[in-house]
Amino acid sequence: MRDPAKFLSDEYAQLVAAQADWKLHVLAGPSQPWCTVDGRKVLMFCSNNYLGLSNHPKLKAAAESAVRTHGVGSGSVRSIAGTMDLHLELERRLAAFKQAEASLVYQSGFATNAGLIPQLVGDGDLVVSDELNHGSIIDGVRLSRAERAVYKHADVADLARVLETAEGHAPAYRRILVITDGVFSMDGDVAPLDRIAEVAHRHGAMVYVDDAHGEGVLGPGGRGIVAHFGLGRDRVHVEMGTFSKAFGVVGGHISGSRALVDFAFNKSRTWLLSGSHPPPVAAACLAAVDVLEGEPEHVERLWTLTRRFKKEMGALGFDLGVSTTPITPVMVGENARARRLSDRLLELGVFALPIVYPMVAPGKARIRTIMNAALTDDDVGFAIDAFAKAGRELGLV
């Protein structure tokens, strides 16, 4: 009898043959500049822990205190018995930090996009999406029953073309939603959100920005891309983010109008039907907001190190793509070559993983580095020296 599940091993074998499979590395201990990975001490150079907060003493103390006062779990989904005072305080503080009327915390960034987008649009609507948007946006759009259009990456003129075409659609669309990443996670470039918002406003479209990689990085005090461009909530209607990157913990969230939040928690099934954050997680997220508000030096340090790394790597002759943020891709080309560079860097003591097809287009494989404010000047110099040595050996520079 034919094995109906044979495709599982067959397709995995194809990934291995194409060197497009993921090989998991094990981190023993906290995510910090020098980590133990697969039993070796190496310099962490690819985590999303931009500000080094995942091991910050204030966050750890807050988590420990919450275990003593609130236990280790909430016991329910938030819509029934799982909303704790910690959750409400986190949303209040986050809204104040984001300078928004209200915020809502989801279980993860992926759950935010997958749960909210299908409720914002449906039959008779149109979603207009940047061609390089994150997979969680793509899946959220697919879950909706809305029609879809894609505009060229960060190309506001092409967005305008799509929206002008949409105006002639018969019957008229009920609503139009423009969605973009804030910082694009593979290339490190920033969406021209000010111009996107202006074009969308002219055509009566809502704007949704996924700012997962902009929080703690862009804007005054790391408040994100909406603050970076000084935009009002009448132009950017949904600002989505995550606690798993610069905030150093885990979870997704949205900020915007009170009406948005009331709508979202009544309609998003990922929010309604998933257990709420354990108390120590919510408390650590709260402490992260405290640190961002009270210790601006972390954001400043992040940018100081970023500028140095880009300057010195560029001077060596590496192709750093179009990045303007602490995400700095070192462009390599083919999957196998990117893997060889990553393996050699690991031998030299730097942990930086390859990003290969299908995560990026064929021929666009790269080592994606992400700067961390907790690194020392010597750490950054160590990484640059390792890249220089490995790059020369592989003929990249």
Q: What residues are annotated to the active site?
A: 185, 213, 245
What's the full length of the chain, in residues?
397
**Beta-carbon contacts of residue 51 (< 8 Å; ≥ 6 apart):** 216, 222, 246, 248, 291, 292, 298, 299, 302, 372, 373, 374
Rounded to an integer, what distance in angstroms lies between the CA atom of residue 192 and that of residue 227?
13
* Alpha carbon distance 151, 162 (integer Å): 7
- Going from the C-alpha of 103 to that of each of 106, 232, 252, 387, 395, the distances in angstroms are 10, 15, 11, 41, 49
Residues 6+ apart with CB under 8 A from 264: 104, 116, 119, 254, 271
Inter-CA distances, 191 with 89, 173, 226, 323, 343, Å: 31, 25, 11, 11, 32
Give CA separation, 256 vs 130, 150, 212, 223, in Å: 21, 25, 15, 13
**38: which 2 tokens?**
């697969």
Q: First and final CA of the chain: distance in angstroms?
A: 55
Provide the 3-class DSSP secondary structure of residue 197: helix
Three-class secondary structure of residue 39 per DSSP:
coil
| CA gap 51, 292 in Å, rounded | 9
Angle between helices 258-267 and 109-120 in degrees, nearest 10: 100
The three-class DSSP label of residue 330 is: strand
CA separation for the pair 159, 138 (Å, rounded): 17
